[in-house]
């Protein structure tokens, strides 16, 4: 797999590192590279037709994002989360996104609300049509819009980093959640989203925070139960 290369870049070395990081990140988040899988620099360099230096630098970047880990004397592997780790991650997200939803209730615009309503309609259609990948992508956009509507820079930065890795990676890396309908969870998700939009539209920060907090905790608990059932 040869990566595209642009000689017009003022810093081609940096661009190449970013291309490698982007390709690896996408493969991990989409489940093409699995949790616990070792990432060998020599193999990746040959596959991407680049030297080992941009591979090494890209892996450092992914390590800083929490997607991979360096194991002394063994190499680099994709992070593998335990059920307890996932429970903790979703508990953290639930608190922060609840705060973001509360703030968004006071600052969200009419245009942003209209976009959320359009997403809700499309998400219902995706579920009915079995378009689960599209549903998960749109779900991310839905949450991201609300986070950005909070206008709270720290929350936006922190939650953006969490969303860059954990929700997508966790759901896409397990066969029971990646490409299958989960009627009990899917319907609850849609109802939570609809109630959240209503709270935001009415400027009800208390209710928006409560719904967002519970929604994310419930999603995390569902995933934990699925994973523990697989073990």
Mean pLDDT of the residues in the chain: 86
Mean of pLDDT values over 138-162 = 94
Nearest residue to 64 via CA among 145, 197, 205, 165? 165
Spatial separation of the C-alpha atoms in residues 139 and 137, rounded to whole Å = 5
Mean of pLDDT values over 67-72 = 92
- Of the pLDDT bands very low, low, confident and very high (cuts 50, 70, 90), residue 7 is very low
Whether the predicted pLDDT of 219 surpasses 80: yes
Model confidence, pTM: 0.76
CA distances from 52 to 13, 17, 18, 38, 56 (A): 12, 10, 14, 15, 6
Spatial separation of the C-alpha atoms in residues 135 and 158, rounded to whole Å = 23
Whether the predicted pLDDT of 139 surpasses 60: yes
Q: Within the chain, what is the greatest distance between any pair of CA atoms?
A: 56
* Residue 65 burial (C-beta neighbours within 10 Å; 0-12, 13-18, 19+): middle
Structural domains in the chain, sorted by start: 12-78 (1.10.10.10), 83-230 (1.20.120.530)
């Amino acid at each position: 797999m040869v990566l595209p290369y642009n000689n017009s870049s003022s810093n081609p070395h940096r661009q190449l590192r970013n291309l490698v990081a982007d390709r690896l990140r996408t493969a991990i988040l989409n489940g093409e590279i699995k949790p616990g899988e070792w990432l060998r620099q020599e193999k990746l360099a040959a596959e991407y037709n680049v030297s080992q230096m941009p591979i090494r630098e890209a892996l450092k970047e992914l390590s800083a994002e929490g997607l991979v880990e360096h194991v002394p004397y063994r190499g680099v592997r994709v992070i593998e989360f335990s059920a307890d780790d996932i429970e903790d991650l979703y508990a953290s997200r639930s608190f922060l996104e609840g705060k973001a939803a509360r703030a968004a209730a006071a600052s969200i615009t009419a245009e942003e609300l209209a976009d959320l309503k359009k997403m809700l309609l499309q998400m219902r259609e995706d579920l009915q049509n079995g378009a689960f990948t599209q549903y998960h992508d749109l779900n991310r956009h839905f949450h991201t819009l609300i986070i950005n509507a909070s206008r709270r820079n720290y929350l936006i930065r922190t939650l953006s980093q969490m969303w860059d890795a954990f929700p997508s990676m966790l759901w896409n890396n397990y066969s029971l959640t990646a490409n299958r309908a989960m009627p009990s969870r899917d319907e609850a998700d849609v109802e939570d989203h609809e109630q959240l939009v209503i709270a935001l539209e009415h400027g009800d920060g208390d209710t928006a925070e409560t719904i967002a907090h519970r929604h994310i905790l419930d999603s995390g608990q569902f995933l934990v139960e699925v994973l523990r059932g697989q073990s």
